Structure 1
Amino acid sequence: MSSPSFPMGPITGLHGRAVVVAGDDIDTDRIIPARFLKCVTFDGLGEQVFADDRVELAAAPTGPHPFDRPEVQGASLLVVNRNFGCGSSREHAPQALMRWGIRAVVGESFAEIFYGNCLALGIPCFTAAHDVVLNLQTALAAVPDQELRLSLDPSALEAPDGRLWELELQAGPRQMLLTGQWDATSQLLAHGAHLERTAAALPYLNGF
């Protein structure tokens, strides 16, 4: 797997394929099992995302795990169901998804801490009603390799044939993503001169 490029600055949407991981209450231990939390850095976590589920489904009659299906390799959108990312608050879960290539998630609902950890990485988590998500998953099952267009404002997902799924994104996170305020590193770099002036005036940094 090639090293993915990570989001920086303002995020207005994306264009790409989607991978569906169906089921309610998929927790962070399934997204990235606890044994991988010993890593010193997040590098390599993308290869281990859903590790146990992928091994279990590798020889299953239903076929491999969605993340192992060839038609969705390189997908940037993840479509899930209810209460995705529940369980422990490990930030490794969104890190693993991002390093696999996921740049946005659409689902019925998300665990609050998982949602916040995704926002800190520039990964918008959109919500939609149960029937909307099921309709989207059905459409993706029928044509898994279709290229979709996702926008933040308005929050919507469009298929190549013109079908449109209206989504929801909280106003605060949407504003942070559209303006780039989610990206703490870029914010610090953009205000470098101000930070240097502040540091120069701090007695405990300057010996006075």
Structure 2
Amino acid sequence: MTTAPITMVEGKAIALPGHDIDTDRIIPARFLKSISFAGLGNHVFADDRAAAGGDHPFDRPEHQGARILVVNRNFGCGSSREHAPRSLQRWGIAAVIGESFAEIFASNCLALGMPCLRGETGTVEDIQQLVQEQPGVHFCLTLEAPTLRGLDRHWPLTMENGPQTMLLNGCWDATGLLLSHDDRLRRTALQLPYLNDFALSN
């Protein structure tokens, strides 16, 4: 069993300049109490947005509905909280383009079916400049031959082979894959003495 393959993400983009933006900034710790992740998108970059007084990229009207986030170097560093990509996804982000990502952040994104693609510094800055100057541009991000297209322009990107294959084949949801083998899991569990002893004693 596979989940839905992810081959393309289309829509507007939102640029968030700055290096080393950590998960504490993406979703402040006080919002980690939720175990259902409900409403988490409302609090993404809560402190940064409050400090910007409504002029943060995630608050500007022209960026509402954006699906592609364009960042710089070492995005998602810091604590390895799953809530960070969850909050971005629940705000509406479906893919992230950046110079580099913290490894655990990228892994957490992959588990949600959210691609993280890398671009050279000049490439990323060029995309960010276009997004800031023309926020209404419709982009098409393809994963098979990683490329971002918009306004008759295109930017080459890169992606690690493992995550790329998992997304293209629809094998990115590890929990879904595990549950799809429920019968085999139950048969294996019955063969484990310690589980059998527990079942007999109860």
TM-score normalised to structure 2 length: 0.90
Unaligned runs of 5+ in 2: none
CA contact (8 A) 1:9 1:183 kept: no
How far apart are the structure 1 equivalents of 2:165 and 2:41?
28
State the SS of the aligned residue for 1:110.
coil
| Corresponding residue of 2:23 | 28
Please identify runs of 4+ aligned residues in structure 1 that moved more than 4 A. Answer: 199-203
Which of 41, 45, 50 is the matching residue for 1:50?
A: 45
* Counterpart residue identity of residue 176, structure 2: S
Which of 145, 150, 157 is the matching residue for 2:148?
A: 157
How far apart are the structure 2 equivalents of 1:147 and 1:185?
33
How far apart are the structure 2 equivalents of 1:184 and 1:9?
13
State the SS of the aligned residue for 1:40.
coil
Which of 114, 117, 129 is the matching residue for 1:126?
A: 117
How far apart are the structure 2 equivalents of 1:40 and 1:199?
28
| Corresponding residue of 1:87 | 78
Which of 171, 180, 183 is the matching residue for 1:190?
A: 180
How far apart are the structure 1 equivalents of 2:200 and 2:5?
39
TM-aligned CA deviation for residue 188 of structure 1? 3.0
1:145 aligns with 2:132: no
Identity percentage over the alignment?
55
* Counterpart residue identity of residue 119, structure 1: L
| Corresponding residue of 1:40 | 35
Aligned alpha-carbon RMSD (Å): 1.7
| Corresponding residue of 1:172 | 162
CA contact (8 A) 1:24 1:81 kept: yes
How far apart are the structure 1 equivalents of 2:189 and 2:104?
32
1:102 aligns with 2:93: yes
TM-aligned CA deviation for residue 200 of structure 1? 5.0
How far apart are the structure 2 equivalents of 1:14 and 1:121?
14
TM-aligned CA deviation for residue 207 of structure 1? 3.8
Larger mean CA deviation between 131-140 and 33-42 belongs to 33-42
* Counterpart residue identity of residue 45, structure 1: L
State the SS of the aligned residue for 2:14.
strand
How far apart are the structure 1 equivalents of 2:149 and 2:126?
13
TM-score normalised to structure 1 length: 0.87
Which of 61, 65, 72 is the matching residue for 2:63?
A: 72
How far apart are the structure 1 equivalents of 2:127 and 2:113?
23
